[in-house]
């Protein structure tokens, strides 16, 4: 990895995805674990890639349970979190407090993420870190407390979202957080900006 956090595509991958090198920016997680806040790191793609709205590749190979990484795509942060089995199982237990537990506002996620987990792979959640009220970046707050089952809290006007990005009832934010188009290039690499099944 270079000093600016950009990971070079391994030589073994070059043949298969050589064409991606001009249109995507590869970002990835590093091994360092932050004690208090479980973000691994976040990086900015090149200005050229941002300007072009290019897809962004995220390396999730080092992401531990409960941790998150952020990547930048089209001027917005995309957050990827890795959920434990317990967190996944608890998703069905909080539905009574949610405004749209079944993702009936279909614009908020692609069809392939319109499911109980709002994801392709239930272990990994991919969201725009962009509050659906006025666009602030909700804070990833996974620690469970007596009155909080984990999720995201918007620092601007207090909107709360669960561990699938589903908004709680009675919040300023009207809808669930957006799942951006994405696809898996492998078990450990997600391409943000291209829908599943479409040519990257």
> What does the binding site for ligand FES look like in residue numbers (CB under 6 A)?
131, 133-136, 154, 156-159, 172-173
Closest Cα to residue 20, out of 187, 169, 188, 185? 185
Residues β-bridged to residue 59: 28, 189
Q: How far is the CB of 193 from ligand FES (least distance, A)?
A: 23
Q: Which is nearer to ligand FES, 29 or 154 (CB)?
A: 154
Q: Which is nearer to ligand FES, 73 or 152 (CB)?
A: 152
Q: How far is the CB of 105 from ligand FES (least distance, A)?
A: 16
Q: Which is nearer to ligand FES, 118 or 133 (CB)?
A: 133
Q: How many CA atoms lie within 13 A of 115 on its CB side?
A: 10
Q: Which is nearer to ligand FES, 56 or 167 (CB)?
A: 167
User: Which uninterrupted H or E stretch holds 12?
Assistant: helix 11-17
Using an 8 Å Cβ cutoff, are 5 and 43 in contact?
yes
- Give SS3 for 11: helix
Q: How far is the CB of 136 from ligand FES (least distance, A)?
A: 4
Q: How far is the CB of 159 from ligand FES (least distance, A)?
A: 4
User: Which uninterrupted H or E stretch holds 86?
Assistant: helix 85-90
């Amino acid at each position: 990895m270079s000093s600016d956090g950009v990971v070079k595509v391994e030589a073994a991958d070059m043949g298969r995805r050589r064409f991606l090198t001009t249109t995507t920016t590869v970002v990835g997680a590093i091994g360092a674990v932050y004690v208090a806040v479980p973000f691994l790191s976040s990086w900015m793609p090149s200005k050229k890639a941002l300007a072009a709205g290019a897809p962004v590749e995220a390396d999730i190979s080092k992401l531990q349970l409960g941790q998150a990484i952020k990547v930048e795509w089209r001027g917005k942060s995309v957050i990827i979190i890795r959920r434990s089995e317990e967190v996944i199982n608890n998703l069905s237990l909080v539905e009574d407090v949610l405004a749209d537990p079944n993702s009936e506002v279909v614009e908020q996620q692609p069809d392939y993420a319109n499911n109980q987990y709002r994801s392709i792979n239930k272990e990994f959640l991919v969201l725009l870190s962009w509050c659906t009220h006025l666009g602030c970046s909700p804070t990833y707050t996974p620690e469970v407390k007596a009155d909080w089952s984990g999720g995201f809290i918007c620092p601007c006007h207090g909107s709360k979202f669960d561990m699938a990005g589903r908004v709680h009832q009675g919040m300023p934010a009207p809808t669930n957080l957006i799942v951006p188009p994405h696809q898996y290039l492998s078990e450990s690499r997600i391409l943000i900006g291209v829908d599943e099944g479409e040519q990257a």
